[in-house]
Structures are given as C-alpha cells and as structure tokens.
C-alpha cells in the first residue's frame, strides 16, 4: 500500500512586535495605496497583507484614514532628498519636476483621496500637514540654496526660508487655483527663470545697493 505523501510543513511564523510589526503594516498599507488608491484601503486587506490581525492595526490607528495618512507620509518621505546637478537652475527645476510628478501621479490622487476621507476632522487634517515632512522639504530647498551660495551662484542673503519655499508655493498654486491635472514643463521653467532666479540674484544686489536716502545725502554733502 502506497504511503500517502506528506505535505511539507511550514515553519511557524515568527511573532513580530513593536517597530517590526508596525513597519510591516505600513508597508502593506503603502502597497494598497499605490496599487488601488484610498477606496481599496481597508483594515481587513492591510491586515491580510501584513500577516497580522485587525486588532494590531486598531491598537495603533483608530481607523483606516489614520492608517492611510501614516502610509502616505511613508511614501512621501522618499521625495525629500535634494538633487545635485551642479547648478541652481538645474537643482530647482529638478525639485519642481519631482513635486509635479508626485502631485500629478497616483500619489497625488492618494493625497486628494485622504483629504476627502478626512473631511472636516481637524486631527486627521493636521496629520496630513505633517510638520516633520514639511521641515524635510524646507531643509531640501535650503540645501539647494546653500550649495548655490557655496558655489558663488548666489549671495548669502538669498539663503532664507521664504525664498526657498517660493518655487513650491507657485507650483502648488497651479494645482489649487487652476485645478490642473498636471503642470506643463514650460510653466516649471517659467517659475524658475522668471521668478525664482531673479529673486535669488536680486537678494544680493539689494543688500549691496545703497538706499535712495543715502544717495541723496551724499549728493548734498
């Protein structure tokens, strides 16, 4: 009598805890967002992919939207490393192209979906305005400006947070005010060439230029 073939036994799953389990959950949630967007993000699906149960999710996030916000922040974190093309124009244009690509991609749809799902809940909307992520983006833009100053492409007076945030604010305005699905590359070049670079270069000239009153005082001396 032939012996029944035994199925290979699977090794028992290692019990994950703490940061390891949280990482697995966020990774699974990010996969769902990238593949299918916010509507497909359910606690059941994320738990299945992460190889855990829903209780583990609910102990960390009160609902699927809060989990989605955390997963989106994980996805967005990869976009903060500044480029180094060797020129201020090249770096700025690359940064704008990255942001434009992100906002017009499924990631942008994810963000809009999360904003809609959060509704008027102040806590969730505050999570979407993650200060840590904003600080990372600001630091990246300041790094780009700092390299330009070090190369002699810009005066030290240009190294200012308000100057650094100008290109991204103008790009965001194209989406918010005009409602466009994506911003043409020609518009990105206009932001850099017609607004940002003149602003940066003007900072040094303004600092070196004597005031009109000082000129009049010297003329009357």
pLDDT at 7 over 70: no
Q: What is the pLDDT of residues 14-67, one digit of tens each?
A: 566 788 999 999 999 989 988 888 889 999 999 999 999 999 999 999 999 899
Closest listed residue to residue 82, CA positions, set 20, 145, 8:
145
Q: What is the pLDDT of residues 130-171, one digit of tens each?
A: 555 567 778 889 999 999 999 999 999 999 999 999 999 999
Task: Quote the tokens at residue 199.
Answer: 């602003």
Q: Quote the DSSP letter at residue 183.
A: -
Closest listed residue to residue 106, CA positions, set 165, 39, 22:
39
Question: pLDDT value at position 21?
Answer: 94
Count Cβ atoms below 10 Å from residue 46 Cβ, excluding itself. 29
Closest listed residue to residue 64, CA positions, set 117, 112, 116, 132:
117
Q: Are 95 and 82 in contact (CB under 8 A)?
A: yes
Q: What is the pLDDT of residues 98-141, one digit of tens each?
A: 888 877 776 667 766 776 777 767 776 666 665 555 677 788 89
Which one has a higher pLDDT value, 1 or 51?
51
Task: Quote the tokens at residue 206.
Answer: 């303004």
Cβ neighbors of 211 (< 8 A, separation 6 or more) are none
């Amino acid at each position: 009598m032939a012996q029944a073939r035994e199925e290979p036994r699977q090794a028992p799953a290692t019990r994950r805890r703490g940061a390891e389990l949280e990482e697995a959950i966020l990774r699974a949630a990010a996969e769902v967002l990238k593949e299918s967007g916010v509507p497909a993000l359910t606690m059941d699906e994320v738990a299945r992919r992460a190889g855990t149960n829903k209780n583990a999710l609910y102990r960390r996030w009160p609902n699927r939207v809060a989990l989605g916000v955390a997963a989106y922040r994980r996805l967005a974190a990869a976009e903060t490393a500044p480029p180094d093309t060797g020129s201020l124009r090249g770096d700025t244009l690359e940064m704008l192209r990255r942001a434009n690509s992100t906002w017009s991609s499924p990631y942008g749809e994810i963000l809009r979906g999360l904003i809609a799902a959060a509704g008027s809940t102040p806590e969730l909307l505050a999570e979407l305005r993650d200060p840590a992520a904003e600080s990372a983006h600001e630091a990246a833009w300041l790094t780009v400006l700092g390299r330009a100053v070090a190369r002699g492409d810009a005066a030290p007076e240009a190294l200012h947070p308000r100057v650094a945030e100008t290109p991204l604010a103008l790009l965001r305005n194209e989406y918010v005010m005009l409602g466009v699905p994506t911003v043409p590359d020609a518009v990105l070049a206009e932001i850099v060439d017609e607004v940002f670079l003149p602003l940066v270069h003007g900072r040094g000239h303004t600092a070196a230029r004597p005031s009109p009153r000082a000129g009049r005082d010297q003329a009357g001396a």
